Structure 1
Amino acid sequence: MAFYSETKVAPRHVTSEASVPFDQAYKEAIEKKILPGYALIAGGRDGNILYSKADGVASLKEGETQPFKLDTICWIASMTKLLTSVACLQAVEAGLLELEKPVTETLPEVGKYGILTGWNDEKNEGIYEQHKTPVTLRMLLCHTSGYEYDWFSPLLAKWRASRNEQPWTGPTVEDKTTLPLLFEPGTSFRYGGSPDWTGKLIERVTGKSLEEFMVEKIFEPLGIKDLTFYPKKREDMKDRLATLSTLSETGEAPAKDASDQDMLFGGTDCLGGGGGYGSAQDFFTFLQAVLRRDNRLLNSESYDELFRPQLNDEVKTALNEYLRSSPAHAQFLGMSLPQEIEKTWSFAGLTVEQDLEGRMLAGTHTWGGVPSMTWYMDHKAGICGVAFCQIMPPMFPGVLALHEQFQRAMYAKATKGEQRE
């Protein structure tokens, strides 16, 4: 996945002065050809909409003129993980899965190589030890299983190369995610493909595809039609599908068409960690339902588990050190949050443990997706929001700076009781 391992960390090139209204900043980004198009929605726990707008174009392909709308279908990448977490807890409620049960009975591929502790360059082979702790569903859901994405790990890149394989390629979860572990399960944090395994776990215990399970348990109860793993098979989506655009490797405009990139690298499975597609308006419908703890999705105890910080002190320290370990980690995983702010992890995603003045309150959950997209749920302020676009490099700081301004403006509207637009 070369755009991760080789991409230079991009500088910010978007106006971020507080004196510039956030909607004007987005407009300027379109005018400067930094951002082809976007959709923003924010609202409250009570069901109100604080802000809703889309602008720009859905594609830079030659001859394409379709505007970017609230129902434009985007690759949501790692925003899929929240859907998969909810689906897993639904399966737990149904007695199909257990959080503490080792998953190898159903997923024998998990941990099959043991822990890759180093590399023998002379022999071009790994150095391994057997893990002592079985991998559980809880570990998979909070990235403490020992797995890391192979495109993010130099050691796993060597392992792939020794097998004449490319990182994160192939059609199935098994192809992409059957990897060595990098630490004893439960003792550290690395961001990886564990949610792909949790999606596969649901498929194996139910006999249904992850999409079929989500349609039955999430989409239909909420009246959602615009979330899927297979948009090209949907006639009602083909004309609404946005394409990727990219700035230069260092984030320089103008953005150019990148629609020829296969962002799933041959994937044909339902990839619970990053294979979803959907519209801003329907993902927001889902997000707002989760914020209000809609009982059509989960019961009260399951929502408590979804939102509860999952990391002990040792692993929380590992998470925060991981986010600060390199500029690439900060860009791809830091969600434009100050590095000095302590974070932890829940099944819902990254959890902010301190107030960020004028932006969000402690306990806010947030995550995003590769093409510079974000979502957040501020439980204390009672608001949530989504920012959709399809621009690379991954999690481009200039665009995330825009999303931060959006979050700050919505926080001000919610806390000042401003009128709905």
Structure 2
Amino acid sequence: MASSKIDKVYEDAIASGLLPGVSVLAGDKDGKILYSKSFGKSSLKPEKANEPFTDSTIASIASMSKLMTSVAALKAVELGKLDLDADVRSTFPSMGQHGIITSFDDENNTASFEPDTTPVTVRMLLSHTSGHEYDWLNLLLGKWRASRNEVPWSGPTIEDKSAIPMVFTPGTNFAYGGGHDWAGKAVAVATDKTLENFMREHIWTPLGIENDVSFYPKQNPDLHHRLADLATLNEQGLPPAVDAPDFDMLFGGTDCFGGAGVFCSAKAYYTFLSAVFRRDPALLLAESYEELFRPQLDAKAEQAFNEYLASSPAHTQFLCLGIPHTVRKTWSFAGMICLDGQEGRFRKGTTFWAGVPSCMWFMDHEAGVCGTAVCQILPPMHPGVVALHEKFQRGVLEMVKFELGGVEEEEEEEEEEGDSCCLSL
């Protein structure tokens, strides 16, 4: 049974000390749950030794927040509050205030810049084509931060973290960065509500998950009580995991960070993911879902994206989710789209994304399945943990008896035999 194989994957990981705990859910386009199970503990602190990791445990989902922010932005567009293609730089004067960083003089400890006033749109922000890149992924930005005695991605506000030099002219390239943080702030300004309150009204409450998700879990006693603790493997990335009491997922952040700041339970996130996957009208109109899922990169940016993923081991580890570079990829507002399939794992057109503590989600539109795995383990996107989630995804496909590359042949054989059984795709 595929479900027992998935069980063993995570049970062995817990036993080895690779994972303290994890919650895993998957289902189909009819909303049927195909797999739902939790393993291990929510904390490695001695005083919490008996607290299990469940689908109600509250966890940092980091960049899995981006999908929620994209949905929020499209809802704001539906409400007539936001325009995907209007320039937002006038709303945020600090955006791009330094211009585009072009080089760094190590001897003089100074950076060089080119001025730039190119319009930046919400479409660019949600597509990672706005010129923003996370400073912890870019060598020049890292040196620029150090020259100012600053730590990458530090400070309480979006401006502190993301009002940094751009790395290319907006709209001309791809780089993974804080665009969703700016986009979330654009939603807040346009609607005169915090991103927390806007999501609560238009996403969380309609789905019935409003008591299981927040940007500020420590301000809610119930959420705080259920909050998982981060753990880390050793410097070589080897188990057993230990408690990581000094790691702050938001690096001092206090704003609503639409790109990384949501905390929620695995069950709540799956409820949201499933609704988006099924294009639930409780969240968005049909045309908004079309915009959410369609590729946003032109040919040049798509090529740049694929080259970006392969540009360094860090880029590959953080962004590729164990998917080979031979699988062509592009980007949508929802996340990364694989234009090719991977045998036994997913069909072409599958959408993915993930978050720093090695959590991930997928939506396989052709196979008709989606799923998420939520855990709280460092180092970020640990290859060993990502490999567990790949086995989970493969197991889900096995459950629905969907053989990659062979479904057409199966259907032909069934027609010849007069078999009326069909797959729910």
Give TM-score, length-normalised by structure 2: 0.92
Q: Shift of residue 95 of structure 1?
A: 1.3
The corresponding residue for 1:244 is 230
Q: Shift of residue 112 of structure 1?
A: 1.5
The corresponding residue for 1:85 is 70
Matched position secondary structure for 1:388: strand
Q: Deviations over 1:110-137 (max 9, x none)?
A: 2221111112334322211122531111
The corresponding residue for 1:52 is 36
Q: Which amino acid aligns with 1:349?
A: G
Q: Which amino acid aligns with 2:95?
A: V
Q: Shift of residue 355 of structure 1?
A: 1.4
In the alignment, does 2:137 pair up with 1:152?
Answer: yes
The corresponding residue for 2:159 is 174
Q: Shift of residue 145 of structure 1?
A: 0.6
The corresponding residue for 2:17 is 33
Give the stretch that moved more between structures: 258-267 or 46-55. 258-267
**Aligned mates of 1:265, 1:344 — CA distance in 2:** 29
In the alignment, does 2:356 pair up with 1:375?
Answer: no
**Aligned mates of 2:28, 2:305 — CA distance in 1:** 30
Give the stretch that moved more between structures: 202-211 or 408-417. 408-417
Q: Deviations over 1:60-111 (max 9, x none)?
A: 0122120010110000000000000000011111111111111112122222
**Aligned mates of 2:335, 2:245 — CA distance in 1:** 29
Match of 1:42 among 26, 32, 37: 26
The corresponding residue for 2:267 is 281
**Consecutive unaligned residues in structure 1, runs of 5 or more:** 1-17
Q: Which amino acid aligns with 1:21?
A: K
The corresponding residue for 2:283 is 297
**Aligned mates of 2:296, 2:188 — CA distance in 1:** 25
State whether residues 77 and 273 of structure 1, in contact with CA within 8 Å, keep that contact through their aligned partners in structure 2. yes
**Consecutive unaligned residues in structure 2, runs of 5 or more:** 403-420
Matched position secondary structure for 1:216: helix
The corresponding residue for 2:292 is 306
**Aligned mates of 1:165, 1:151 — CA distance in 2:** 12
Q: Deviations over 1:247-266 (max 9, x none)?
A: 01221111100033112111
Q: Shift of residue 159 of structure 1?
A: 1.2
Q: Which amino acid aligns with 2:20?
A: P
Q: Which amino acid aligns with 1:52?
A: S
Q: Shift of residue 141 of structure 1?
A: 0.3
Match of 1:137 among 109, 113, 122: 122
In the alignment, does 2:378 pair up with 1:389?
Answer: no
Q: Which has the larger radius of gyration?
A: 2
State whether residues 291 and 384 of structure 1, in contact with CA within 8 Å, keep that contact through their aligned partners in structure 2. yes
Give the stretch that moved more between structures: 331-340 or 115-124. 115-124
**Aligned mates of 2:287, 2:345 — CA distance in 1:** 28
State whether residues 111 and 135 of structure 1, in contact with CA within 8 Å, keep that contact through their aligned partners in structure 2. no
Q: Which amino acid aligns with 1:57?
A: K
Q: Which amino acid aligns with 1:338?
A: P
**Aligned mates of 2:246, 2:385 — CA distance in 1:** 22
Q: Which amino acid aligns with 1:367?
A: W
In the alignment, does 2:339 pair up with 1:353?
Answer: yes
Q: Shift of residue 275 of structure 1?
A: 0.7
Q: Deviations over 1:34-84 (max 9, x none)?
A: 111110000011010000000100000122120010110000000000000
The corresponding residue for 2:412 is none
Give the stretch that moved more between structures: 376-385 or 259-268. 259-268
In the alignment, does 2:325 pair up with 1:339?
Answer: yes
Give the stretch that moved more between structures: 77-86 or 257-266. 257-266
Give TM-score, length-normalised by structure 1: 0.93
Q: Shift of residue 158 of structure 1?
A: 1.5
Match of 1:126 among 89, 94, 111: 111
Q: Which amino acid aligns with 2:278?
A: R
Q: Which amino acid aligns with 1:169?
A: S
State whether residues 227 and 278 of structure 1, in contact with CA within 8 Å, keep that contact through their aligned partners in structure 2. yes
Q: Which amino acid aligns with 1:356?
A: Q
How many residue pairs match? The answer is 401
**Aligned mates of 1:260, 1:154 — CA distance in 2:** 25
Matched position secondary structure for 1:126: strand
Q: Deviations over 1:285-318 (max 9, x none)?
A: 0000001111111111110000000111111111
Matched position secondary structure for 1:325: coil
Q: Deviations over 1:2-24 (max 9, x none)?
A: xxxxxxxxxxxxxxxx9x92321
